[in-house]
Amino acid sequence: MSHGSEAGAVRNRNRRIATLAVIALAGTALLVALFVLQVRSEIRRDAAIAAQAQSYERVIRAAALSASIAQAEATLGRYVISDDRAMGQRFGDAWNQARDQLDRLATLSRGDPAESARIAQVREAFHERGTELSETASYLAHRRGSDALGSYYAIRSSAALTRLNQGLEQLLERQRTRLLRSNREAVAAIDRASTATRALAAFGLLLALGAVLLGWFMVEVLGERGEADAEAVAERVRSAELEEAVAAATAQLRAEAREREETEARLRQVQKMEAVGQLTGGIAHDFNNMLAVVVGGLELARRQLDHDESPAKRHIENAMEGANRAAALTRRLLTFSRSEPLLPEAVEPGALIRGMADLLDRTLGDAVSVETHDAGSGWCVWVDRHQLENAVLNLAVNARDAMEGRGTLTIATAGATLAAGAIGSCAAGDYASIAVSDTGCGMTPEVLERVFEPFFTTKPVGQGTGLGLSQIFGFARRSGGEIGIETKPGRGTTVTLYLPRYFGTATPATPESAVDPVAAARPLDILVVEDDPRVLAATVEALSELGHRAIGCDNPIEAPARLAEMAALDLIVSDVLMPDRTGPEMIAALEAEGRLDGAAVLFVTGYAGETDPAVFGGRPVLRKPYTMATLARAVEEAVPSTRGSRRRFAHG
């Protein structure tokens, strides 16, 4: 072989070696690229599938939460109808189940700040809605079915329910959108992997040595792509099943809404008789006691009036006190029956506790010793007096039960300046405090953590509803205050109610009706329209005693004729509910005929029922029964001393 031929062979061999080396390197690079592509495809596919699974789980939890809330709402409606305590317990269980679903949904969304914020809004609306439902159920716990009905109607379309439903719908819509986006991302990831695989396969065809390896890797990648396609199809099937489940839940909610409407219709049919029965049974004992005071005092006064006026006067005062208490009880019952909010006023906590001494003694029994301490420095709070009394009474009863009916109960009032967040979420400022302490069993940390939850109670079945502290908590929050609890097992409990200080003078708790009225500074010409002859005679006589010129009319139809007999008219005092024509209807007719000519009107009523306040036309309303002092004050407010000349009637 010549040197030229040998050199050519070496060059060819070197070229072949270089070619083989290039092919080997290219094959290695191809192998590495295919491996990296496979790993990335698996990571993207797994991430897409995980996102799909997470969205699917969130949608399931949101749908379950919506269904649990709907079940609790429907169960409460059945509870209001049947007054069945077992149904009330089911309502509490359904609401707690909804709370668990909400907690699980929040756990799934911890890594998503936007989702967590939405769930926080839903949780706030959920708690507000729970408080509304708890207040409705509490009326049944205290045997106040009519109040429960009124409250149930009032919260059917509350702002909290609207926010809760909107929040749930937004969560479901967001998760459905996220699920569709995850499906698209998974399909896109698979398409990108397929495109890259085809490109690398085309490049591998140019490499003779790597053709077999390239084909093998392509088979593997295509197999994985088939599996990913199958998984994507399965996810689409699960998504369709989820949509069907959501549609079924929506249909169930609509069916429950129809059932609620039917329930409300049945409730309206039995509401009147149920309210009458409950009112009759609930107040008979106390009202008879008050009537006994009135009748006994008047009888003793009549027997002693001819002998000695001093004892007779004392008995008459006792009878007046009993009558005033009966009137106050009736007004409160009427207010509750109409579900009207009670008006707040300036209250001094120390004075309120002192005024509750007899009530606490009768309620707690002789085995419980009550001690009171007032260090409130005369601070006042702006609250509803009766709601505050009920809150203190509930705390006292809870303390008595914790002491098993025997021990020492301490009620201390004081004033404190709190920093922001010092007690719960209170704002910085001055607070009046009412602390109720007992020497009972105390609470464990587990019980303390759930003490404000509606329907949570440690008492045996039938001895507690779990609504007391939740109601007090709601009252404190509505009044701008907070509640603090200090307790240790075996060492008793102290529950402190903090209410914002009101810079003003406390409203007197005792009525002013006991004050003797003075004669009117200016005599008025008054027409009294009242269908009850005894009430008519008493009102005319009382107005005459006050120095006015009063004429009676026992039929509103005859009012125009009586007006024609009067030389002047300053005021019409009219009952509201009368046969043939109501007081507002009579006044409207007189106004239309031009017979009032600027004369004032004072409506008098014992019970206005469901009368719209707008029919009174902004004129004052005096509640029965009333004393001469309250009548004189109402007349002065209806006809101020600055009023112009009276209208004169011309006789033809």
Question: What is the pLDDT at residue 204?
Answer: 60
Tell which of 250, 272, 294 closes a domain: 272
Q: Residues 511-539: what's their mean pLDDT?
A: 77
Helices (H), ranges, 305-423: 309-337, 349-355, 357-364, 385-402
Tell which of 321, 337, 353 closes a domain: 337
The proportion of the chain whose per-residue pLDDT surpasses 70, expressed as a percent, equals 70
Same domain, 37 and 131: yes
Domain presence at residue 15: no
Q: Residues 51-74: what's their mean pLDDT?
A: 78
Model confidence at 611, pLDDT cuts 50, 70, 90, reads low
Question: What is the pLDDT at residue 271?
Answer: 45
3-state secondary structure of 1: coil
Same domain, 256 and 376: no
- Chain centroid to CA 426: 19
CA distance 116 to 106: 6
CB 99 within 8 A of CB 129: no
Domain presence at residue 260: yes
Q: What pLDDT digit, counting tens, does each position of 423-434 carry?
A: 888 899 999 999
Same domain, 259 and 313: no
Question: What is the pLDDT at residue 215?
Answer: 57
Phi, psi dihedral angles at 26 (to 5 degrees): -65, -40
- For residue 238, the surrounding DSSP H or E stretch is helix 211-304
Same domain, 376 and 330: no
Q: Residues 158-169: what's their mean pLDDT?
A: 81
Which of 169-173, 318-322, 511-515 shows the lowest per-residue confidence on average (mean pLDDT)?
511-515
CB 416 within 8 A of CB 433: yes
Structural domain tally of the chain?
4
Q: Give residue 96's domain range.
A: 25-272
Question: What is the pLDDT at residue 587?
Answer: 94
CA distance 332 to 338: 10
Which of 206-210, 211-215, 275-279, 417-421 shows the lowest per-residue confidence on average (mean pLDDT)?
275-279
Question: What is the pLDDT at residue 315?
Answer: 66
Q: Residues 244-248: what's their mean pLDDT?
A: 85
Question: What is the pLDDT at residue 550?
Answer: 94
Same domain, 300 and 392: no
pLDDT at 467 over 70: no
Domain presence at residue 593: yes
184-193, 244-253, 321-330: range with highest mean pLDDT: 244-253
The proportion of the chain whose per-residue pLDDT surpasses 90, expressed as a percent, equals 16
Which is higher by pLDDT, 614 or 104?
A: 104
Strands (E), 419-570: 429-437, 482-487, 493-502, 525-529, 549-553, 568-569
Q: What pLDDT digit, counting tens, does each position of 86-116 carry?
A: 877 887 888 888 888 888 888 877 777 878 8
Which of 218-232, 537-551, 583-597 shows the lowest per-residue confidence on average (mean pLDDT)?
218-232
Tell which of 272, 302, 328 closes a domain: 272
The mean predicted confidence, pLDDT, of the chain is 76
pTM: 0.39
Helices (H), ranges, 403-554: 445-449, 468-478, 533-545
Distance spanning both ends of the chain, measured CA to CA: 161
Q: Residues 131-157: what's their mean pLDDT?
A: 76
Domain presence at residue 20: no
| Closest by Cα among 587, 570, 569 to 578 | 587
Domain presence at residue 576: yes
5-19, 248-262, 626-640: range with highest mean pLDDT: 626-640
Question: What is the pLDDT at residue 610?
Answer: 45
Question: What is the pLDDT at residue 498?
Answer: 94
Domain presence at residue 512: no
Which is higher by pLDDT, 386 or 594?
A: 594
Same domain, 211 and 314: no
CA distance 476 to 453: 15
pLDDT at 470 over 80: no
Beta pairing, strands 600-605 & 571-575: parallel
Same domain, 312 and 413: no
64-78, 385-399, 552-566: range with highest mean pLDDT: 552-566
Which is higher by pLDDT, 410 or 208?
A: 410
Q: Read off the CATH number of the domain in which 373 is found.
A: 3.30.565.10
Which of 201-210, 314-323, 516-525, 531-540 shows the lowest per-residue confidence on average (mean pLDDT)?
201-210
pLDDT at 319 over 80: no
Same domain, 239 and 327: no
Q: What pLDDT digit, counting tens, does each position of 638-647 carry?
A: 887 555 445 5
Question: What is the pLDDT at residue 307?
Answer: 67
Same domain, 318 and 222: no
Domain presence at residue 9: no
Model confidence at 19, pLDDT cuts 50, 70, 90, reads low
Domain presence at residue 408: yes
Same domain, 409 and 303: no
Same domain, 52 and 192: yes
Q: Read off the CATH number of the domain in which 606 is found.
A: 3.40.50.2300
Q: What pLDDT digit, counting tens, does each position of 353-408 carry?
A: 988 887 788 778 888 899 999 987 789 999 888 788 888 888 888 888 888 888 99
Question: What is the pLDDT at residue 348?
Answer: 93
Same domain, 176 and 137: yes
